[in-house]
Amino acid sequence: MNIRKLKFYHFRNYDKASFSFDENTIHVLQGKNAQGKTNIVEGIYFLSLLRSFRTNKLAHLVKHGEASFVIEADVESKGRIEELKVAVSDSKKQLFRFNDPVAKYSSFVGMVNAILFCPDDMTLFSDAPAARRKFIDMELIKLSKSYTATLSHYQKLLKERNQALKQPYVDRSLLDVYTRQMIQDQKIIISQRHRFLDELMEKVRTLYPFFSDGQERMEARYETFVSIEEDDLQQAMRACYEKTLERDLQYKNTQIGVHKDDFVFLLDGVPLVEAASQGQKRSVLLALKLGLAQIVYEKGGQYPILLLDDVFSELDESRRRKLIAMLPETMQIFITSAEPIPKSWFERPVKFYEIENGKIKEDLHE
């Protein structure tokens, strides 16, 4: 998958900007801080998931003094060009494919499959469980339409069950209907999360040693409200809900379910958040991101676009070179850096750009 053309209208510090990018090439975006390097990466990421990785407020993405922004892209996928557009005004998104409106977000998300590494990812292991659920869910949403639909349906049922619990008189029969339907959804969600985590960690265990001089073993533990090893998962979930019913009624909220799941990453059997240095955490994250890319390739036959924002800042030269050498040759990659990167580090097509105040100067080394 490749971004061939990218256009911004009133996006961040770009007024009107047009970019052309080569297929299967590393694009290095260089420049001082606050010039617009990360904004390019953010625009590509927004096309992928219809959200920013830097803010939850759409208004922050609009250029100062403007009322709306537009991102357009020509995206190559398996030899076919997709023309995509997102227009945002008054915090509402309008989606287009070949200039035709796209009604559902779920029909648009994943058409650009981009995997991101950014400095804020370093908090993944220390953040609340919601951050790790989001990490897993965002990748599964791009890979599986059935997972997307099931998770959305579960969240709707959860909201309705919680509303039922807050009523002055709780209809237990209605509550039971919601519970039964939620159990059906959770069988699918738990199964897909568990399988995906196993696949991901298999890749990570292969990749991690390339970033680390140590011999540590990487693992991950999936924590949910029921034992995944149960012969009858549905019955086990049913028993858990019956056990916690009085607590649900007391707190007027659903106390158990996959909305409280966690994924604990372990280094030699010890939670990463307790045992790992910053360098080890960064190495694990890079292995996770490249592992995700490999899973996408195996499932879909093409690599996603890889976005590496400020990835080199805490890596020594040896690890920087090692990372570059590991990047798949048939993958389009965007790297932002505040420091110049020598062209001699690369043994594959690479282009360098200087970003200054929302302007781009193409291929400085030519």
For residue 189, pLDDT over 90 is answered with: yes
What pLDDT score does 313 carry?
A: 80
User: Can you give the CATH number for the domain in which 337 is found?
Assistant: 3.40.50.300
Of residues 193 and 345, more confidently modeled: 193
What percent of the chain has a predicted confidence (pLDDT) above 90?
71
User: Can you give the CATH number for the domain in which 275 is found?
Assistant: 1.20.1050.90
Note whether 208 and 352 are same-domain residues: no
Q: What is the pTM of this model?
A: 0.90
Report in angstroms the alpha-carbon separations of 287 from 75, 142, 206, 310.
Answer: 26, 19, 8, 16
Least confident span in 68-72, 92-96, 102-106, 240-244: 102-106
The answer to whether residues 74 and 81 touch, using CB atoms and an 8 Å cutoff, is: yes
Of 250, 285, 303, the residue at which a domain comes to its end is 303
Note whether 288 and 143 are same-domain residues: yes
Note whether 314 and 299 are same-domain residues: no
- Domain span at residue 362 reads 1-113+305-366
Note whether 274 and 222 are same-domain residues: yes
Note whether 204 and 319 are same-domain residues: no
Q: Which amino acid is at 62?
A: V
Note whether 129 and 251 are same-domain residues: yes
- How large is the average pLDDT for residues 314-340? 88
Q: Which of 38, 7, 3, 8 is nearest to 21 (CA)?
A: 3
Of residues 104 and 156, more confidently modeled: 156
- How large is the average pLDDT for residues 66-71? 96
Average pLDDT in the chain = 92
Note whether 298 and 312 are same-domain residues: no
**C-alpha torsion sign, points 231, 237, 238, 244:** positive
What pLDDT score does 365 carry?
A: 52
Note whether 161 and 236 are same-domain residues: yes
CB contact set of 348 (below 8 Å; sequence gap of 6+): 25, 26, 327, 329
Note whether 127 and 239 are same-domain residues: yes
The tally of domains found in the chain comes to: 2
Note whether 149 and 284 are same-domain residues: yes
What pLDDT score does 364 carry?
A: 54
Tens-digit pLDDT profile for residues 120-131: 898 999 999 999
Q: What's the chain's Rg over C-alpha atoms?
A: 22
What pLDDT score does 73 carry?
A: 97
Note whether 286 and 327 are same-domain residues: no
Q: Centre a 10 Å sphere on the Cβ of residue 198 and count the other Cβ atoms it contains.
A: 11
Q: Is 298 exposed, middle or buried (0-12, 13-18, 19+ CB in 10 A)?
A: exposed
pLDDT category at 363 given cuts 50, 70, 90 is low
Note whether 67 and 49 are same-domain residues: yes
Tens-digit pLDDT profile for residues 215-258: 788 899 999 999 998 889 999 999 999 999 999 999 999 999 99
For residue 26, pLDDT over 90 is answered with: yes
Q: Within its chain, how far is the Cα of 76 from the centroid?
A: 20
Of 282, 303, 324, the residue at which a domain comes to its end is 303
What pLDDT score does 214 carry?
A: 63
**C-alpha torsion sign, points 245, 246, 252, 258:** negative
Q: How many angstroms separate the CA atoms of 312 and 83, rounded?
A: 32
What percent of the chain has a predicted confidence (pLDDT) above 70?
98
Of 266, 282, 303, the residue at which a domain comes to its end is 303
What pLDDT score does 40 carry?
A: 96
CB contact set of 179 (below 8 Å; sequence gap of 6+): 161, 238, 241
Tens-digit pLDDT profile for residues 255-308: 999 999 999 999 989 999 898 888 888 888 999 999 999 999 999 899 999 999
- How large is the average pLDDT for residues 183-205? 96
